[in-house]
Amino acid sequence: MQGFDYVDDVTGQTKIWSIGINRTFNPNRDYIWPIPQREIDLNKNLTQNPGYL
C-alpha cells in the first residue's frame, strides 16, 4: 500500500511517500467476511465462516 506522490522541493523529483503497510489477499479466506461473535452467540445454528477462528 502506498501513501501519495509528491514533488521534492530540493531536487524537483516526483517521489512516493509510502506508509509501509504490506497487505496481502488470501483467496481461501478473503472472499467472505467473518460473522460477528455476537451474532453467533444469538443464534447457535450459525457457525463461523471458514478461515476465521
Can you tell me the distance from the alpha carbon of 28 to that of 51, in angstroms, rounded to the nearest whole number? 7
Report the distance separating Cα 50 and Cα 32, nearest Å: 9
Q: How confident is the model at residue 36 (pLDDT cuts 50, 70, 90)?
A: very high
In a domain, 21, yes or no: yes
Environment class of residue 22 by beta-carbon count within 10 Å: exposed (0-12), middle (13-18) or buried (19+)?
exposed
The verdict on residue 12 lying in a domain is yes
Of 46 and 20, the one with more pLDDT: 46
Evaluate whether residue 14 is within a structural domain: yes
Which range marks the domain in which residue 27 is found? 4-42
Residue 49 scores a pLDDT above 70: yes
Mean pLDDT across 18-30: 77
DSSP classification of residue 47 = -
Asked if residue 33 belongs to a domain, the reply is: yes
- pLDDT of 16 reads 76
pLDDT, mean of residues 12-34: 81
31 vs 42, which has greater pLDDT? 42
Structural domains in the chain (count): 1
Q: What are phi and psi of 28, to 5 degrees?
A: -75, -15
How confident is the model at residue 38, as a pLDDT? 96
